[in-house]
Amino acid sequence: MFKVENIRKDFPILSRQVNGKPLVYFDNAATSQTPQQVIDVIVNYYSNYNANIHRGVHALSQEATDLYEQARYKIQAHFNAKHAHEIIYTSGTTHGINLVANGFSALLKKGDEIIVSALEHHSNIVPWQMLCERTGANLKVIPMNQNGELEIKAFETLLNQNTKLVFVNHISNALGTINPIDHIIKKAHEVGAAVLVDGAQSSPHIKPDVQALDVDFYVVSAHKMCGPTGVGVLYGKEDWLNKLPPYQGGGEMIAEVTFEKTTYAALPHKFEAGTPNICGGIAFGAAIDYMNAVGFDAIAAYEHELLEYATNKLLEIEGLKIYGTSRHKTSVISFNLEGIHPYDVGTILDKLGVAVRTGHHCAQPIMDYFKIPGTVRASFAFYNTKSEIDILVEGVKKAKMMLS
């Protein structure tokens, strides 16, 4: 097990103050913090390698291209994709989902069915609604229960020969529930449907093996994994990526262009039009190296300890309710104080230097299910500590006293 005091030294931001108090950063599900090792890679890129890639004959362009493509190999190895060209650089999870949704416009017809889950982030709902509008396909929803878990039996009854696609997140950003995606993938494949898994919230906590899962598409954002914003990847099985038409047209994604007809580049470039976030891709590779050096087993075990500690402490506060009580969850606690708006709790916590997220967490259907306007969400990362949780708990008690 790693020593958290040593880990914290890697994150310069953790030693800053907010409102005159040491920062307690518990908004990791929104975005993670960046270690010096990744910051150094970004500084080094702009100091020594900045050039456009895949185009120049000059040395700088070649060096930048090599670093960018090496990072793709790192990402491939991390997710255990069979081929590097199955890793498509994107600007993040939202971009990856939209790329696939757009591609399926060409493959779906009226009467086809697509299934999403009640636990989705808006970015895994809205693109599919738009896809249904374009194609005449119907959207079905896997219901959830009071523990914030998906009703898997109900999912199985939704599946039929018309089901073409299933979309589900690996871990819910609003509640932290870990969904049984291996079972969902297996069942969806039995009726010939493709499965896209939104891995935005799982990739910071576990190391998914896309081949073992047999998942068709898996999407992630670097900024949830100690990397920079504005970059992510879409993993797609080679066969599927070959079937989907390109998402955007432009430079880089072509084989040959004439005014009569354009042919497209091979994978992965077919989906990578325009100048990409070169530095971001390289830094994403560095972030993956960093997280692997810490170790995903150690991260999961330590975060579980934090989750248990915080859950027990928070539940000692009378009138505090936690939403998402599955036994299978990551280090996310969504809660409310009876009769108090989450925004007011969040504002008081901020005055104490504690950063939490308040609101619907881009998952309005979940809030509607619980009939609440939103929650206070504390989400922990491997660089957080139990003493920071004590500060949160004292802050929540103080908020309760001030606002009751």
Least CB distance to ligand PMP at residue 283 (A):
15
Q: List the one residue out of 324, 319, 331 whose CA is nearest residue 396.
A: 319
Alpha carbons 256 and 234: distance in angstroms, whole number = 25
Instruction: Tell me the two tokens of residue 55.
Output: 């185009």
Decide: is 379 part of the binding site for ligand PMP (CB under 6 A).
Answer: no
Is the distance from CB of 395 to CB of 402 less than 8 angstroms? no
Q: Does 27 help bind ligand PMP (rule: CB under 6 A)?
A: no
Binding positions for ligand PMP, 171-230, rule CB under 6 A: 173, 198, 200-201, 221
> Least distance (Å) from ligand PMP to the CB of residue 95?
7
Q: Does 121 help bind ligand PMP (rule: CB under 6 A)?
A: yes
Shortest separation between residue 379's beta carbon and ligand PMP, angstroms: 10
CA dihedral sign of residues 224, 250, 75, 179: positive
Q: Closer CB to ligand PMP, residue 324 or residue 395?
A: 324
Compute the C-alpha angle 25/26/29, nearest 5°. 120
Q: Which residues of 266-277 are buried (b: 16+ CB within 10 A; e: fewer)?
A: ebbbbbbbeebb
Q: Can you tell me the distance from the alpha carbon of 114 to that of 268, in angstroms, rounded to the nearest whole number? A: 26
Number of H helices, E strands in the chain: 14, 17
Q: Which of 32, 169, 177, 385 binds ligand PMP (CB under 6 A)?
A: 169
- Considering only residues 94, 102, 117, 358, which one is a binding residue for ligand PMP as defined by CB under 6 A? 94
Residues 32, 381: Cα–Cα separation, whole Å: 8
What's the Cα-to-Cα distance from 186 to each of 181, 193, 212, 282, rounded to whole Å?
Answer: 8, 10, 11, 34
Nearer to ligand PMP, 307 or 393 (CB): 307
- Taking residues 300 to 339 in sequence order and writing x for each that binds ligand PMP by CB under 6 A, - otherwise, the string is ----------------------------------------
Site string for ligand PMP, 268-297 (x = CB under 6 A): ------------------------------
Q: Is 67 exposed, middle or buried (0-12, 13-18, 19+ CB in 10 A)?
A: buried
Pick the closer one to ligand PMP by CB: 173 or 385.
Answer: 173
CB of 73 to ligand PMP, least distance (A): 23
Interface characters, 50-89, with ligand PMP (x: CB under 6 A): ----------------------------------------
| Region binding ligand PMP by CB under 6 A among candidate stretches 47-55, 90-98, 257-265, 370-378 | 90-98
Instruction: Supply the minimum distance, in Å, between the C-beta of residue 92 and ligand PMP.
Output: 3
Distance of CA 87 to the CA centre of its chain: 16
Contact footprint for ligand PMP (CB under 6 A): 92-94, 121, 123-124, 169, 173, 198, 200-201, 221, 362
